[in-house]
Amino acid sequence: MLQFLQLVASGVAQGCIYGLIALGFVLIYKATETVNFAQGDLMMVGGFLGLTGTLAMGMPFWAAFFAALVVMLFFGMALERAVLRPLLGQPAFTVVMATIGIGFLARGIVTMIPEWGTDTHVLPVPYKDQVVHVGGLVLSMEHIVIVAVTAMLILALYLLFKHTKIGIAMQATSQNQLAAFYMGIPVRRINMLVWGISAAVSAGAGLLLAPITFVHANMGFIGLKAFPAAVVGGFGSIPGALVGGLIIGVVETLAGFYLPEGFKDVAAYIVVLIMLAVKPNGLFGENLRKKV
C-alpha cells in the first residue's frame, strides 16, 4: 500500500509537468484553434534559458526561473507575430505544419548554440536531493516543488482569467473571435499574448522537469505525451488539461511498475485511444455539434 502511494506521489509530480505542457496546448487551442506541435520544444528552450541564467550569468535559481519565463513570454509573442499571424485564416493543417517546422528549427538551432549543444546538462537547483518524510512516505523535494509551483502557476492563470481585463478579453476571444472583434477587443494582440503566456508556461514546465531528467535538445519530445493529457481532459478545457496530465502521469508511473517492461512508454497512448473510443470529447470537454 505504501509503495502504491509512493508511486502515485511521483506520478502526480510527473503528471503536473504533462499538465503544464497540456495547459500550453489548451491555451493556444482555445484562442486560435491551432494545435501547437512545438510546445515541447518551447519547453526545451525554456530549460536551456534557465541553464544559461544560473550557470553562465550566475543568477540564483529562482531569479533565473522568472527571467526565463519572461524571456519566453516575449519569444512566444515574437513567434506568433512572425510565423503564425501571416497564416491567420488558413486551414488548420497548414498551421499545424508550421508549428512542426518551428519545432524542427528550435531543435536544430539549439544544438548549434555553443554553450548549449547536443550534450545533456545538469541544472543546479537549491533543493537538489532533499527528501521529506510524511508518515512513512518519502517524498523528494523536486516532486514537492513541481506540485507547489504548478499550483501557483495555475492560481496565477486563474486570477488572470477571472479578474483582469486582459483575461476576460482572452475568454471572450476564445469563445467567439468575430464577436470579440466587434466588441473592440484587439483579437490579434490577444492571440499574440496567448502565445506568449503559453510559451512561458511551457518554459516553467521545462525548468521544473530539468532537475529530474536533464536539459538536452531532445527533451521536447516529452511534450508529445502532453497530447494524450490534453485529449483525456477535453482539448478545450483548462482544468481538464491539468486533470488529464495527472491521470496520464499516474497511469504511466503505475504501468511502469506493475506491468511488463515496455508498457510505461505506451501507457499514455493506450489511455488516449480508450478515451477516444469511449468519450471522444474528454472528461471536461463540451459536447457540441456543428450546425449547417
Q: Considering only residues 36-75, where is the footprint of another protein by CB under 8 A?
A: none
Contact 173, 180 (CB under 8 A): yes
What mask, x for binding another protein by CB under 8 A, covers residues 203 to 222? --------------x---x-
Q: Work out whether 184 is an interface residue with another protein (CB under 8 A).
A: no
Residue in 180, 144, 152, 153 with CA at minimum distance from that of residue 23:
153
Contact 28, 226 (CB under 8 A): no
CA-CA distances (angstroms) from residue 180 to 24, 28, 85, 142, 176? 22, 16, 17, 42, 6
To another protein, the closest distance from the beta carbon of 43 in angstroms equals: 17
CA-CA distances (angstroms) from residue 134 to 9, 117, 137, 212? 11, 40, 5, 21
Q: Work out whether 172 is an interface residue with another protein (CB under 8 A).
A: no
Q: In sequence order, what are the residues at sequence separation of 6 or more whose Cβ sits closer than 8 angstroms to the Cβ of residue 102?
A: 38, 41, 79, 83
Q: Work out whether 273 is an interface residue with another protein (CB under 8 A).
A: yes
Residue in 32, 22, 70, 38 with CA at minimum distance from that of residue 200:
70
Q: Pick the piece of the chain touching another protein (CB under 8 A) from 8-16, 99-107, 154-162, 198-206.
A: 99-107
122 or 266: CB nearest another protein:
266
Contact 220, 47 (CB under 8 A): no
Q: Work out whether 272 is an interface residue with another protein (CB under 8 A).
A: yes
| Strand residues in 142-282 grouped as ranges (E) | none
To another protein, the closest distance from the beta carbon of 94 in angstroms equals: 6
28 or 149: CB nearest another protein:
28
Q: Pick the piece of the chain touching another protein (CB under 8 A) from 3-11, 62-70, 100-108, 244-252.
A: 100-108
Q: Work out whether 292 is an interface residue with another protein (CB under 8 A).
A: yes
The residues of the shown chain that bind another protein, judged by CB under 8 A, are 29, 33, 35, 83, 86-98, 100-112, 118, 175-178, 181, 217, 221, 224, 227-228, 231, 235, 261-262, 265-266, 268-270, 272-273, 276-277, 280, 288-292
